[in-house]
Amino acid sequence: MVLIHSLSLLKQVFVPHVRRLAERYVTVLALSPEGRTRQVRLSHLRLAGLGLLGALLLGLAAWGSFGEFQVRSQQFRLASLEEENQLLLTQLQQQATLILALQGEMGKLRTFESQLRILSGLEPGTEPLVGVGAGGGRELHQQKRQALR
């Protein structure tokens, strides 16, 4: 009941103002290149509607340009990340070639060590020496020698 009464009260207050707006006119003159003038009469209500439509279109255009700006910034960010990724891949490949070169050097050093051991008459260095340099390493090494004989 209260809702119906408040709606009828709103209608009594609002409708006369809308009718007054619809009755008032605004005259717009449009000059053509030929020199003719045209007269267009618009009510305040239609003029307000056109203004609202213009504001809506302007808002949509602003929203679209903002969206375009975001898309372009994301594309720029993606391009910079792809460039950084390529740079990191290149560095990784360089590191891999460096590791391969170091592994080759390690192989050469092992071969050289084994040749030195053969020339000096030492045992082949297949096992690491345990306890060497930590007190009593010499005795442990001699025990291993005797166990191997």
Residue 10 is encoded by which pair of tokens? 């709103």
2 vs 34: which has the higher pLDDT = 34
Asked whether residue 92 carries a pLDDT value surpassing 80, the answer given is: yes
Query: CB within 8 A of 48, min separation 6: which ones?
Result: 21
What pLDDT is stored for residue 42 in this prediction? Answer: 75
Cα–Cα distance, 145 to 31 (Å, whole number) = 116
Length of the chain, please?
149
Angle, helix 2-23 to helix 44-120, in steps of 10 degrees: 110
Residue extents of the structural domains in the chain: 2-30+38-122
Cα 127 to Cα 69, 112, 124, 135, 149: the distances in Å are 66, 17, 8, 19, 16
Look-up: residue for tokens 């030195």?
Answer: 116
With H, G, I as helix, E, B as strand and everything else as coil, classify residue 123: coil
With H, G, I as helix, E, B as strand and everything else as coil, classify residue 38: strand
Q: What is the pTM of this model?
A: 0.43
What pLDDT is stored for residue 34 in this prediction? Answer: 78
What pLDDT is stored for residue 47 in this prediction? Answer: 81
